[in-house]
Amino acid sequence: MPGAFHVVFALYPDVTQLDFTGPFEVFQRLPQARCTLASVSGGELRADGGMTFAHLVRLKDVGECALLCVPGGYGTVAALEDDEYLKQVHRLGSSARYVTSACTGSLLLAAAGLLRGRRAACHWAWRELLTHFDVRPDAARVVRDGTVITGGGVTAGIDMALAVTAEIAGVDYAQSVQLTLEYAPEPPYDCGRPELARPEILAAVKARLDSRGAARVAAVRRAAARLLTAEAT
């Protein structure tokens, strides 16, 4: 499609689907948008929770893109150790006009060497892990550092995508998309960030997430070490 604005979502098994389905619903409305779901092997992909996506293309078959979006999820741990995935994210991100992420997707951008020295958002429970990659964690819901625009946990991807839409297509256009999606959120509770949640709720969620914490820290450390080695050679 000549003149198309190519948006590529770089997916991996056990991704959190809302991390990219939210931004996709926004980005597909960009003028001339062409959205592609891609993964290392292409074909079908199972997200966390069991939803299966089909007809993905292979990342290595994607020539280039204008906007790269990397989602997060529990599968981030395995993706941090997937050299082919990180290589393709690095390749596409290096030439994209905009590099974006939601949730723990920023850890993957960092592991791919795309965030060195930058600020980035991440899911609150994993945000500090960005420091292993010489990336400054930022608690804002949407963080812009040049043309790298990252979102916080899961639902922050929608806010990130609307911010990016305004940058690409202007404020009026972004507002028309926001109105189309009736995005006037009314969260039932004021507890969506750790500093807002009641202590017992925060403790319960932390306890559940911490059960996976050690594996993630170990994977981040190994990925950071590999990145250092790669950059030194």
Written as one letter, the residue type at 77 is: V
Catalytic residue among 35, 103, 122, 191: 103
Listed ranges 74-82, 91-99, 128-136, 159-167: which one lies at the site for its own copies (CB under 8 A): 159-167
Nearby residues of 157 by Cβ (< 8 Å), 6 or more positions away? 18, 19, 20, 22, 23, 71, 102, 103, 151
Separation between Cα atoms, residue 176 and residue 156, nearest integer Å = 19
Which of 53, 85, 98, 133 contacts its own copies by CB under 8 A?
53
CB of 114 to its own copies, least distance (A): 22
Q: Of 59, 194, 220, whose CA–CA distance to 129 is shortest?
A: 220
Q: Is 179 in the site for its own copies (CB under 8 A)?
A: yes
Q: Is 69 a catalytic site residue? A: no
CB of 203 to its own copies, least distance (A): 10
CB of 154 to its own copies, least distance (A): 4
Separation between Cα atoms, residue 203 and residue 209, nearest integer Å = 10
Q: Of 36, 161, 26, whose CA–CA distance to 88 is shortest?
A: 36
Binding pattern to its own copies, positions 95-134, x when CB under 8 A? --------x-------------------xx----------
CB of 52 to its own copies, least distance (A): 4
Q: Is 218 in the site for its own copies (CB under 8 A)?
A: no
> Is residue 124 a contact partner of residue 194, using CB atoms and an 8 Å limit?
yes
3 state DSSP class of 135: coil
Cα separation values, 4 from 64, 69, 78, 93, Å: 12, 17, 32, 18
**Residues with catalytic roles:** 103
The residues of the shown chain that bind its own copies, judged by CB under 8 A, are 16-18, 21-22, 24-25, 28, 35, 37, 44, 49-55, 103, 123-124, 141-142, 152-156, 158-159, 162-163, 166, 171-172, 174-176, 178-194, 196-198, 200-202, 204-205, 208-209
